[in-house]
Amino acid sequence: MNKPVIYISRKLPKSLLEPYSDRFTFHMWDQEDKPVDKEELLKESKKADGLITMLTEKIDDRFLRENPQLKIIANLAVGFDNIDIMAAKKHHIIVTNTPDVLTETTADLTFALLMATARRMVEANDLIKQDGWEVWSPFFLAGSDVHHKTIGIVGMGRIGEAVARRARGFDMRVLYHNRSRKPQAEKDLPATYVNFDELLTQSDFVVSLIPATEQTKGLFNHDIFLKMKTEAIFINASRGAVVNELDLASALENGVIKGAGLDVFSREPIGSDHTLLALKNAVCLPHIGSATVQTRKDMVRLCLDNLDSYFYGDGPKTPVQ
């Protein structure tokens, strides 16, 4: 058979593609730091049997309808809310993602964000850069303890469990809320299952690790922040769409909660004029949860393995539907 044609929507290292070059013909967008434009993606996709896409590419019913020859889309992420999964199923197109390989790396970043927010590290760093460190005083840049506090994890998937393991190293009490209970995690970590309201009222740190769905869109809003402790810190390392950012900014400004750390936003990228960036008690990162060199390479390889298994093996390794 002719080698399947794969279009890649962002420039990737050729060294990662080389081991697969005898089985695929690759075409690739020529820029690493700029998403492919919609017209270019549509044009190139019409020549392809499969795609490797990023979260920046919105794959909807119309796009899939105009590409009936496509067989598989390998999404370079755990999340896949950029792809209309029901439409893909309707058009008999397989969609895969990259779970597991980024779990520990994302958990590292999530816990680092929690600590940076609690101990006001970014604020302290900025203060020195602005020549604001003039004298020591007992409560100078005093933050919040992490050890022996209560962490509430909303969404106890692979990453949630990995964050919980890190929390236990700080002697934290671990609460979680999930669509289904995790008896083994409760035993091994240990962790305690509670309803959502209990988690909000009891936790010193509320960590969102839930996917973006119609049910979770804007879940963390004014009413939810009011239920949290006034000393609580909110962390979002899942999807920006689950947070009402205006309500979060209001909660931070008015002392409803103490702080927030975010790696994701409802619209990305954000600029320096974003409301939350004006607040000292908000730590904002540019969606770098899985951004280590090794993990990103592993994610690319899993995308390629999914394509290889689909075209030449027993089916994709990590299908999402």
pLDDT tens per residue across span 211-254: 999 999 999 999 999 999 999 999 999 999 999 999 999 999 99
CATH architecture of 5-101+293-312: 3-Layer(aba) Sandwich (3.40)
Going by C-alpha positions, the residue among 232, 277, 280 that lies closest to residue 256 is: 232
Is 239 an active-site residue? yes
Q: What is the pLDDT of residue 83?
A: 96
Write down the catalytic residue from 120, 166, 177, 239.
Answer: 239
* Mean of all residue pLDDT scores within the chain: 97
Give the pair of three-digit tokens for residue 184: 């083994």
Mean pLDDT on 74-94? 96
Going by C-alpha positions, the residue among 302, 297, 245, 308 that lies closest to residue 78 is: 302
* DSSP output for 187-255: HHTT-EE--HHHHHHH-SEEEE-PPP-TTTTT-B-HHHHHHS-TT-EEEE-S-GGGB-HHHHHHHHHTT
Quote helix, strand, coil % in the chain, to nearest 5. Answer: 35, 15, 50
Please say whether the beta carbons of 185 and 164 come within 8 A: yes
Q: What is the pLDDT of residue 281?
A: 98
Please say whether the beta carbons of 256 and 231 come within 8 A: no
Mean pLDDT on 30-38? 94
What's the alpha-carbon Rg for the chain, to the nearest Å?
A: 21
> In the block, which residue shows the tokens 């394509």?
307
Give the pair of three-digit tokens for residue 263: 């790696």
Rounded to 10°, the helix 158-168/103-118 angle is 50
Domain with CATH 3.40.50.720 in the chain: 5-101+293-312, 103-284
Is 173 an active-site residue? no
> In the block, which residue shows the tokens 């460190």?
133
How far is Cα 194 from Cα 16, in angstroms, rounded to an integer? 44
Q: In 3-state terms, what secondary structure has residue 263?
A: coil
**pLDDT reading at 1 higher than 90:** no
pLDDT tens per residue across span 158-203: 999 999 999 999 999 999 999 999 999 999 999 999 999 999 999 9
Mean pLDDT on 41-59? 97
Q: What is the pLDDT of residue 25?
A: 98
Q: What is the spatial order of strands in the sheet that 50-53 belongs to?
A: 25-28, 5-8, 50-53, 72-75, 94-96
* Integer angstrom CA distances of residue 183 from 116, 161, 202: 31, 12, 21
Mean pLDDT on 35-42? 95
Please say whether the beta carbons of 199 and 174 come within 8 A: no
> Which residues are CB-contacts of 270 (< 8 A; sequence separation ≥ 6)?
277, 284, 286
Q: What is the pLDDT of residue 169?
A: 97
**pLDDT reading at 85 higher than 90:** yes
| Model pTM score | 0.93
Please say whether the beta carbons of 262 and 239 come within 8 A: no
Q: What is the pLDDT of residue 148?
A: 98
Please say whether the beta carbons of 262 and 236 come within 8 A: yes
Going by C-alpha positions, the residue among 109, 102, 164 that lies closest to residue 318 is: 102
Q: One-letter amino acid identity for 133? A: W
Write down the catalytic residue from 18, 231, 253, 268.
Answer: 268
Please say whether the beta carbons of 234 and 259 come within 8 A: yes
Q: What is the pLDDT of residue 321?
A: 74
Write down the catalytic residue from 23, 91, 119, 287.
Answer: 287
Is 147 an active-site residue? no
pLDDT tens per residue across span 268-320: 999 999 999 999 999 999 999 999 999 999 999 999 999 999 999 999 999 99
Q: What is the pLDDT of residue 111?
A: 98
Class of the domain covering 103-284: alpha beta
How far is Cα 310 from Cα 297, in angstroms, rounded to an integer? 20
